Amino acid sequence: MDTSSVIGLISLAALVILGISTGQIPAIVLNFHSVFVVVGGVAVTMLINTPIGLLTRSLGSISDLFTRTGELENPERTVQAVVQLAEQARSRGMMTMKDADPGIAGGFLKRVASAAVEYNDSKFVREVIEDEINKEVDARNEIVNFYRTMGLLSPMFGLIGTLLGIISVLKELSNPENIGPSMALAISSALYGIGFANIICIPIAGKLRAKAWLETNIKGLILTGVLEIMKGSVPLIVERRLQVYLSEKK
């Protein structure tokens, strides 16, 4: 499980509870008007803006925020697996690459190693795997853009909610005692819009983008290592070639 996401959610909940209990967050901020305009408006707009397939994938990607990232952030285990594969291929032949660990990078190492054995053409393997990686990156970027778009729309709907609230305030000019609460209600919509964008949408987009980059780094490491094995490089050379992927995380 991704520790930073869990700590972030717990901290957010704690701050909200503390703010309400100490009065730092006024009770009037918690109102249906703001939720209806901001969350409802963003939801309807994204339904109109986004194809259903991308919408489903984007919402499903929320679970990625809480998946474990140890292998992605610490690729040493992957480097060791590739070097071990190089040692096996050099001592017992290329066919042993089919025995690659299926647990590395979600089975990506085994897929690339199997492709290397089946086609025995490094140029073809590179092209096919790079196309796969690039298409996956494009798909991940579309999901990230989904949440970035939500982050752009939220403050706009907050402003719309504020304008609607101000219209209600103008209706109450003959009742001065109602102007204050009505204005507070109007302004809270802007707060919801800005908060929803900066506390929910933008952080989700940032975390998904970071995980996509880490995953692409791991896949690039694996492809580089397998191509070196196909060239007949000794395990020491394979390991040295992969050191650049370890330095990128520092």
**11 and 128 fall within a common domain:** no
Model pTM? 0.83
Residue 69 resides in a domain:
no
- Give the domain extent around 2: 1-29
Q: Which has the closest alpha carbon to 41: 210, 154, 169?
A: 154
- Which tokens sit at 93? 């032949």
Say yes or no: 20 and 131 in one domain. no
42 plus 91 within the same structural domain: yes
Residue 248's pLDDT band (cuts 50, 70, 90): low
71 — pLDDT class (breaks 50, 70, 90): low
pLDDT at 228: 92
| Residue 234 belongs to a domain | yes
Q: Specify if 88 maps to a domain.
A: yes
- Whether 156 and 220 map to the same domain: the answer is yes
Do residues 158 and 191 both lie within one domain? Answer: yes
Within-domain flag for 42: yes
Q: Let me know if residue 65 belongs to a domain.
A: no
In this predicted structure, the answer to whether residue 101 has a pLDDT above a threshold of 70 is yes
Tell me the C-alpha distance between 228 and 82, whole Å.
10
Indicate whether 16 belongs to any domain.
yes
Q: Is there a single domain that holds both residue 192 and residue 181? A: yes
So what's the pLDDT on residue 48?
95
* For range 109-130, the mean pLDDT: 91
Let me know whether 4 and 45 are in one domain: no
Distances 246 to 65, 228, 240 between C-alpha atoms, Å: 23, 17, 10
| Residue 1 pLDDT level (bands cut at 50, 70, 90) | low
d(CA 209, CA 141): 7
pLDDT for the residue numbered 153: 95
- Does residue 113 lie in a domain region? yes
Same domain assignment for residues 16 and 86: no
pLDDT band per the 50, 70, 90 thresholds, residue 70: low
Sequence letter at residue 87: E
Residues 6 or more apart whose CB falls under 8 angstroms from that of 205 comprise 144, 145, 147, 148, 151
Q: Tell whether 87 is covered by a domain.
A: yes
Residue 74 has pLDDT above 90, yes or no: no
pLDDT at site 73: 63
Q: What is the mean pLDDT of residues 81-100?
A: 88
Same-domain status, 204 and 151: yes
Say if residue 3 is in the same domain as residue 120: no
Instruction: Give yes or no: residues 138 and 197 share one domain.
Output: yes
Number of structural domains, the chain? 2
Percent of the chain with pLDDT over 70: 95
The pLDDT assigned to 123 comes to: 92
In a shared domain, residues 90 and 147? yes
Stretch 164-173: mean pLDDT, rounded? 81
